[in-house]
Amino acid sequence: MRNVSAASQSSSLMMDFSDRVSEASPAATAIVLRQSRAGREVLLLRRSDQLKHMPGLWVFPGGKVEETDAGGDELEQARHGAARELQEESGIVVPPSALRPFSYWLTPTVVKRRFSTWFFLTEVAADTVVTVDGSEIVEHQWWSAARAIEAHHSGELLMTPPTLVSLHDIQNWQGPGALPAGAASGKPLVFFPKVVREGDTMTFLYEGDVAYDTGDLTLTGPHHRTTGQGGIFSYQSSANV
C-alpha cells in the first residue's frame, strides 16, 4: 500500500471555507458491496493525484447528478445519476432500481464548494469485474469495512468523513442478511454537519451530538461527530444517538 505524507494528507483534504453560503449542487454516490470468501467487502476507488478536487482520496463511485439523468424527483434523478457514475468510474452496470437509499449528506454552509448528496447501496456478485479509466480514477480495491477504517487511521487510505461514517455503519451490521440502519428502516440517515475549527483540528458535528446546536465541545453528553487532524479522522457515535 502506498505511503502518504502528512503534507499530501492536508492538501488532499483541504477545504475552502467561505462566509457566504453557496447553493449545494446535486450529487450521488453508490456504495457497492460483494460477499467474498473473506466476508462482506466494499469497493473503494482512488482518485488521481492530479485532480483539483479531492486528489488522491479513496471514495465510493459517484459524482454530480446531471440534468440529463432520468427521474421524476430529486431522489430518482440521484438514483439514476449514481448508476451512471458507477458505470463510468468502475465499469459496473446495475439498474437504478438496484440502488437502495442509504444516507443523505448536505455539505456544511461554511464550505465554499457544497454538495447535496444521496448515498445508495447495492450488492454485486463476488466475481464482478472492476475497470477504472486510469485518468480520474487510477486504482480500486475491495476492503472489509473494518480493515478500511484501520487503514485510514494508519494513514494508508485518505478519505472524507462521509466515507468513513458510511464504513462504520457497514461495519456494524450483524449477520449476512442484515442491513444498516438507514437501508433497513427505509428512511436514509440524514447528515447536515456543523464544523468547529480549533487550530489544526476540525470537528464535524451531526444531529444528536450534545454540541450540535451550540458548537461547544466542552459540553457533556452524547457524541455524534467526526474529528480530524492532518487528514486523519475518527468517528464517535454514542449508543443513545
Residue 26 Cα distances to 5, 90, 183, angstroms? 32, 21, 21
- pLDDT(2) > 60: no
What is the percent of the chain where pLDDT is above 90? Answer: 72
Q: Do 158 and 106 fall within a single domain?
A: yes
Write down which residue in 126, 142, 175 finishes a domain. Answer: 175
**CA separation for the pair 188, 166 (Å, rounded):** 12
Q: Is residue 43 part of a domain?
A: yes
Q: Do 59 and 104 fall within a single domain?
A: yes
Q: Quick one: pLDDT at residue 14?
A: 53
**CA separation for the pair 211, 4 (Å, rounded):** 32
pLDDT band (50, 70, 90) for residue 9: very low
Return the higher-pLDDT residue of 14 and 227.
Answer: 227
Q: Do 17 and 75 fall within a single domain?
A: yes
**CA separation for the pair 33, 42 (Å, rounded):** 5
Q: Quick one: pLDDT at residue 178?
A: 52
HSE toward the beta carbon, residue 24, CA cutoff 13 A: 17
pLDDT band (50, 70, 90) for residue 10: very low
**CA separation for the pair 58, 156 (Å, rounded):** 10
Q: Do 34 and 129 fall within a single domain?
A: yes
Three-state DSSP state, 85: helix
Q: Is residue 227 part of a domain?
A: yes
Amino acid type, 17: F
Per-residue pLDDT reduced to its tens digit, 45-72: 999 999 988 899 999 999 999 999 999 9
- pLDDT(194) > 70: yes
Q: Do 139 and 220 fall within a single domain?
A: no
Q: Do 163 and 96 fall within a single domain?
A: yes
pLDDT band (50, 70, 90) for residue 4: very low
Q: Is residue 152 part of a domain?
A: yes
Residue numbers of the domain that contains 54: 6-175
pLDDT band (50, 70, 90) for residue 7: very low
Q: Do 39 and 128 fall within a single domain?
A: yes
**CA separation for the pair 82, 54 (Å, rounded):** 18
- pLDDT(224) > 60: yes
Q: Do 216 and 101 fall within a single domain?
A: no
Q: Is residue 185 part of a domain?
A: no
Per-residue pLDDT reduced to its tens digit, 83-138: 999 999 999 999 999 999 999 999 988 887 889 999 999 999 999 999 998 889 99
Q: Is residue 103 part of a domain?
A: yes
3-state per-residue secondary structure call for 86-129 = HHHHHCCCCCHHHCEEEEEEECCCCECCCEEEEEEEEEECCCCC
Residue 82's nearest CA partner among 134, 27, 142, 128 is 27
Other beta carbons less than 10 A from residue 141's beta carbon:
17
Q: What share of the chain is helix, strand, coil (3-state, %, to 5)?
A: 20, 30, 45
Q: Quick one: pLDDT at residue 240?
A: 42
- Count of domains in the chain? 2
Q: Quick one: pLDDT at residue 53?
A: 83
Q: What is the CATH number of the domain that holds 133?
A: 3.90.79.10
Per-residue pLDDT reduced to its tens digit, 166-191: 999 999 875 555 555 555 556 789 99
- pLDDT(74) > 70: yes
Q: Quick one: pLDDT at residue 128?
A: 97
Write down which residue in 123, 148, 175 finishes a domain. Answer: 175
Return the higher-pLDDT residue of 154 and 110.
Answer: 154
Q: Do 142 and 231 fall within a single domain?
A: no
DSSP bridge pairs for 123 = 33
Q: Do 165 and 229 fall within a single domain?
A: no
Other beta carbons less than 10 A from residue 203's beta carbon:
22
Contact present, 32 and 92 (Cβ < 8 Å): yes
Residue 56's nearest CA partner among 112, 162, 137, 167 is 137
Which of 40-60 are b and which e, b meaning 16 or more Cβ less than 10 Å from the residue's Cβ? bbbbbbbbbeeeeebbbbbbb
Per-residue pLDDT reduced to its tens digit, 17-30: 667 777 899 999 99
- For the record, the C-alpha cell of 81 comes out as 445519476
